[in-house]
Structure 1
Amino acid sequence: MTRVVLLGASPGPDTSPTGLRLATMPGNPTVGERLHGQLTSMDPRPARIESGDVAAALRALADVAESATENLFIIPENSVVHDELIYQISKTKRGALALVAKEPRGNSGATEESPSEAAEAPEDNGPEEYVPIDEAEPEIGHNRVEGLPVRVRIGKSRVVSVGTARHAVTRPNGVVLGPLHVSARNAPTLAQTCRDLADMAEVFGPDDDLVQLVVFGLVRNGVSVGIRGRRDLFYRRVTTQEEVNEAVPEMVGMNEDRSRLNNAVKGADGFFTTFFVSTYSRFIARWFARRGWTPNQVTLISIALGVAAAACFATGDRPWMVLGGVLIYFAFVFDCVDGQVARYARKFGVLGAWLDATFDRFKEYVVFAGLAVGWVVSGNGDDIWILALAAIGLQSVRHLLDFSFGIANRRKPPAKLPTLALDVPDDRDLRQALVRRKVERAQGMRRVLKMWTKAGRFRMVHWARKMIVFPIGERFAAIAITAALFDARITFLTLVIWGSVAAIYTLTGRLMRSLV
């Protein structure tokens, strides 16, 4: 469950969402009624906080955060938003995540990607002299994006710094639009931050947005607030009926289902999965989901195809070997489809996750056995079992290492960010601390890892790194191709050689990351 906090507007005909109706939508709901309905599955009794009195609102939010035992989802009540955007933000694994929008380039400062870069592309500001960001003076942002003051410095993956009407920020380039997700582990920090902000509420200006103030406090207290754009989904705050009338057609005109379908595909899949499976498997997943199939039922199809492939390989005959290659390919396709059905239909369960992980290994190992049996019945001798056992042993060790590293990595506390007192009038000290942090983290092993990470910006390197670790898609592809075109011995040699290279590469990287 997630604790939902609705930030209500001050009473009045133009700002209260209770008086703004979505006339073209079924049931003619108000903005507030629709948002309540969208959030019911997350929290049937959301907390509602009036935002007219900033100090009172901050103290009320602090009370909610203090008593919360689950993640918090904070959103203005006058929000018109797609269901899928709410879902994607609320399911983040980050400690905090905010929906943001950058100011158009022609109106903003430069768009440097790192909080400590010393140089940026020149701004489109006419004849004004370009000043690198490290030499720029902090400023109070007065430009606006969607009615919000531009007082946020947005970096590549997180909010770098935030200003207010009394706190200057170095070259602001965006706004926090509204939805904010805060994990349970950061709830105590959120509570204390809101209390501290409430005590100094008199210094804030009338145009300071409540959500933006909260992010201001979190960032200065060392919480890493990740960023997310709207991308192909819709979000807008509305304050007048005219804005509602403009927002609804725009929202309806955007393909929310396509975004949901795309989001059902893992973003970090390997080369083979990305280009030879996910290009069409998502549509199979939608077909199954719309007909009420569960992910576990699709998993059973994948298992059956894997066993059938093993049976074909066990014959040792070339036509059956080719058929086995086709079947193992589609066994992998349906292995992808079951996860995509789960994400598209939002049907998750412990049993399903366990079945998926367990039977991935089962399919591989039963296929190994089928290949070895087929080699033996073809009269080629039983020494193939040595290679089969080597492939099974190598893959088992790799999975053990993956599992143990994942457990250890989850226990590792997040890296600490610099902090800055809430009453400091600008963010220069914070940015200088970030520069020092970057320099310190770019020494020795960290520097090598960072260079290798940056190399991933090149498309060829990116996909080479994906393939070298020999993920499941590449393994199933290797089995299908080598078994269909060659023989079991070539298949096992491919698995053992490529798997050994992958194991050495992965183990080296994890050892390096464990030492930094």
Structure 2
Amino acid sequence: MTRVVLLGASPGPENSPTGLRLAALPGNPTVAERLRGQLTSLDPRLATIESGDVATALRALADVAEATTESLFIIPENSLIHDELIYQITKAKRGALALVAKEPRPEVTEEEQDAQEDVVPIDEAEPEIGLNRLEGLPVRSRVGKSRVVSVGTASHAVTRPNAVLLGPLHVSARNAPMLAQTCRELAAMADKFGEDDDLVQLIVFGLVRNGVSVGLRGRRDLFYRRVTTQEEVNEAGAEMAGMNEDRARLNNAVKGADGFFTTYFVSTYSRFIARWAARRGLTPNQVTLISIALGVAAAACFATGDRPWMVLGGVLIYFAFVFDCVDGQVARYARKFGVLGAWLDATFDRFKEYVVFAGLAVGWVVSGNSDDIWILALAAIGLQSVRHLLDFSFGVANRRKPPSPLPTLALDAPDDRALRQALTRRKVERSQGLRGVLKMWTKAGKFRAVHWARKMIVFPIGERFAAIAITAALFDARITFLTLVIWGSVAAAYTLTGRLMRSLV
């Protein structure tokens, strides 16, 4: 469950009316009514905090955070937002996540570019009070590639601000106590904040200075905007209606970190199968059963040892993998998750592989070849079993590892200079020894060839099923097993080396 906190009018001269109506929607609901309707599935007992008085609002939020054992989703009441964006933010695994918009870079002439060569590097830049505005909010946040680096206020300077915090903020249950503490500390110094300081911005200001890593989420292909006038409501409503939320939801149903084969030869169309299946009421478990059936049928074809059937087996094992991807995509698109489904998916992925291994070995023997093939089959099964054991054990151990603490800064410090210096020192420390090697290898991933090479070398399930399908259809079982054992051994060595290094840092 998620505890939802609705913030009333943000502090400042532009108080957000709650009577603005969305004429284009059935029932002509107000902005606040629509948002409440969207959030009741998350939390039927929404907490509402009037944010006109900053200190009172912060103390009220602290009370909510102290009383909950759940994650918190904080959002201004005058928000127009897609359902899918709410879902994406609240399901994030980050300890804290904020929706941000970066200030667009101005287009400059050649003369201005030449003049910018004299611009002071950010490491030497002086902190400033952000005066620019973006979507009605002061630009007082500095964000990096993955998290909020620093936040300022009307009396707290920030080094080269480049973004605004739009409003939605998700804080995990483990960070709820820190949220409560931060809100009480901020309430005690409310007189230092200005009329244009946004409440969400103040909350993130405190969290970042107290060492909480606040991740970033952009709007991408989804919609979010705060509205304060009927004209803004009409404009935002038209813009939101012109965006294809269902297509965005479908795209988000596909894993973003899949392997090369899955990305280019499966996910390009499997998402549409997933949508078709979901709209016809098929559950993820039913799709999993289809995948299992195709895998068993492929094994039966391989067991004949005849070339036409081997080719058919290669086609069937490919589509068994396609439906293995589809079941997860159906679950994410239809938002139907369950313990049984997760268990079935993980268990029968291995079942399909091992049944296919057996089918290949049987087919080799019935074709009049030596039964020594079983040695290769058992080697492939053993190697894959050990790899999965290592993957599982490392995942469990890694989840138990506490996150590396971030530098902190007193809330009453007038600027973020000391915080940025501490972050610089931390960066230098993490660039030495094994950490430096791992960081350099991570940075190499920005090159597309290296990125996909790293994806393929670990021999993920997509590449394994592709290797089985291609080698079995074009060659024979011995070539298939040799490919699996050799590539699998390289993948195991690479993975084990990386995980040993990560365990030592």
CA distance in 2, matches of 1:269, 1:360: 16
Secondary structure of residue in 2 paired with 1:45? coil
Q: Residue type of the partner of 1:404?
A: S
CA distance in 2, matches of 1:406, 1:315: 39
Are 1:123 and 1:130, in contact at CA under 8 Å, matched by a contact in 2?
no
Does residue 41 of the first structure (1) align with residue 41 of the second (2)? Answer: yes
Secondary structure of residue in 1 paired with 2:489? helix
- Residue in structure 2 matched with residue 305 of structure 1 by the alignment: 294
The 1:127–1:441 alpha-carbon spacing in structure 2 relative to 1, beyond 3 Å, is: closer
- Residue in structure 2 matched with residue 114 of structure 1 by the alignment: none
Quote the offset at 1:125 in angstroms.
9.8
- Residue in structure 1 matched with residue 285 of structure 2 by the alignment: 296
Identity of matched residues, %: 88
Q: Residue type of the partner of 2:424?
A: V
- Residue in structure 2 matched with residue 56 of structure 1 by the alignment: 56
CA distance in 1, matches of 2:349, 2:418: 51
CA distance in 2, matches of 1:303, 1:11: 57
Quote the offset at 1:124 in angstroms.
5.8
Q: Residue type of the partner of 1:433?
A: A
- Residue in structure 2 matched with residue 113 of structure 1 by the alignment: none
Quote the offset at 1:45 in angstroms.
1.1
Could you report, residue by residue, the CA deviation over 1:213-264 in whole angstroms, capped at 9, with x for unpaired residues?
Answer: 0000000000000001100110000011110011000001011111100000
The 1:141–1:293 alpha-carbon spacing in structure 2 relative to 1, beyond 3 Å, is: same
- Residue in structure 2 matched with residue 482 of structure 1 by the alignment: 471
Q: Counterparts in 2 of 1:311-390, with a 5 A limit?
A: 311-390=300-379
Which ranges in structure 2 are unaligned for 5 or more consecutive residues? none
Quote the offset at 1:15 in angstroms.
3.7
Ranges of 4+ aligned residues in structure 1 off by more than 2 Å: 10-18, 122-129
Does residue 201 of the first structure (1) align with residue 177 of the second (2)? Answer: no
- Residue in structure 1 matched with residue 97 of structure 2 by the alignment: 97
Are 1:17 and 1:31, in contact at CA under 8 Å, matched by a contact in 2?
no
- Residue in structure 1 matched with residue 21 of structure 2 by the alignment: 21
- Residue in structure 2 matched with residue 115 of structure 1 by the alignment: none
Q: Residue type of the partner of 2:240?
A: M
TM-score calculated relative to the size of structure 1: 0.96
RMSD value over aligned CA atoms? 1.7
- Residue in structure 1 matched with residue 501 of structure 2 by the alignment: 512
- Residue in structure 1 matched with residue 88 of structure 2 by the alignment: 88
State the number of aligned residues: 503
CA distance in 1, matches of 2:404, 2:304: 55
Quote the offset at 1:376 in angstroms.
0.5
Secondary structure of residue in 1 paired with 2:18? helix
- Residue in structure 1 matched with residue 67 of structure 2 by the alignment: 67
Quote the offset at 1:104 in angstroms.
1.4
Are 1:84 and 1:233, in contact at CA under 8 Å, matched by a contact in 2?
yes
The 1:14–1:134 alpha-carbon spacing in structure 2 relative to 1, beyond 3 Å, is: closer
Secondary structure of residue in 2 paired with 1:19? coil
Secondary structure of residue in 2 paired with 1:416? coil
- Residue in structure 2 matched with residue 210 of structure 1 by the alignment: 199
Does residue 450 of the first structure (1) align with residue 407 of the second (2)? Answer: no
Quote the offset at 1:381 in angstroms.
1.5
Secondary structure of residue in 2 paired with 1:181? strand
TM-score calculated relative to the size of structure 2: 0.98
Could you report, residue by residue, the CA deviation over 1:44-77 in whole angstroms, capped at 9, with x for unpaired residues?
Answer: 1110000000000000000000111000000000
Q: Residue type of the partner of 1:168?
A: A
Q: Residue type of the partner of 1:75?
A: I
CA distance in 2, matches of 1:6, 1:426: 30
CA distance in 2, matches of 1:308, 1:40: 45
Quote the offset at 1:383 in angstroms.
0.6
CA distance in 1, matches of 2:73, 2:358: 50
Could you report, residue by residue, the CA deviation over 1:477-502 in whole angstroms, capped at 9, with x for unpaired residues?
Answer: 00000000000000000000000000
The match for 2:155 among 161, 166, 169 is 166
Are 1:105 and 1:124, in contact at CA under 8 Å, matched by a contact in 2?
no
The match for 1:472 among 449, 458, 461 is 461
The 1:418–1:10 alpha-carbon spacing in structure 2 relative to 1, beyond 3 Å, is: closer
The match for 2:173 among 180, 184, 208 is 184
CA distance in 1, matches of 2:60, 2:315: 60
CA distance in 1, matches of 2:343, 2:350: 11
Are 2:459 and 2:491, in contact at CA under 8 Å, matched by a contact in 1?
yes
Could you report, residue by residue, the CA deviation over 1:148-196 in whole angstroms, capped at 9, with x for unpaired residues?
Answer: 0000001110000000000000000110000000000000000000000
CA distance in 2, matches of 1:366, 1:476: 13
Q: Residue type of the partner of 1:346?
A: R
Quote the offset at 1:16 in angstroms.
4.3
Are 1:89 and 1:97, in contact at CA under 8 Å, matched by a contact in 2?
yes
- Residue in structure 2 matched with residue 76 of structure 1 by the alignment: 76
Secondary structure of residue in 1 paired with 2:439? helix
Q: Residue type of the partner of 1:503?
A: A
Quote the offset at 1:394 in angstroms.
0.2
Does residue 133 of the first structure (1) align with residue 119 of the second (2)? Answer: no
Q: Residue type of the partner of 1:81?
A: I
CA distance in 2, matches of 1:125, 1:257: 45
Secondary structure of residue in 2 paired with 1:243? helix
Quote the offset at 1:106 in angstroms.
1.7
- Residue in structure 1 matched with residue 404 of structure 2 by the alignment: 415
- Residue in structure 2 matched with residue 501 of structure 1 by the alignment: 490
The match for 2:220 among 231, 240, 245 is 231
Are 1:193 and 1:217, in contact at CA under 8 Å, matched by a contact in 2?
yes
Q: Residue type of the partner of 2:264?
A: F
Secondary structure of residue in 1 paired with 2:409? coil
Which ranges in structure 1 are unaligned for 5 or more consecutive residues? 109-121
Quote the offset at 1:18 in angstroms.
2.6
CA distance in 2, matches of 1:11, 1:5: 16
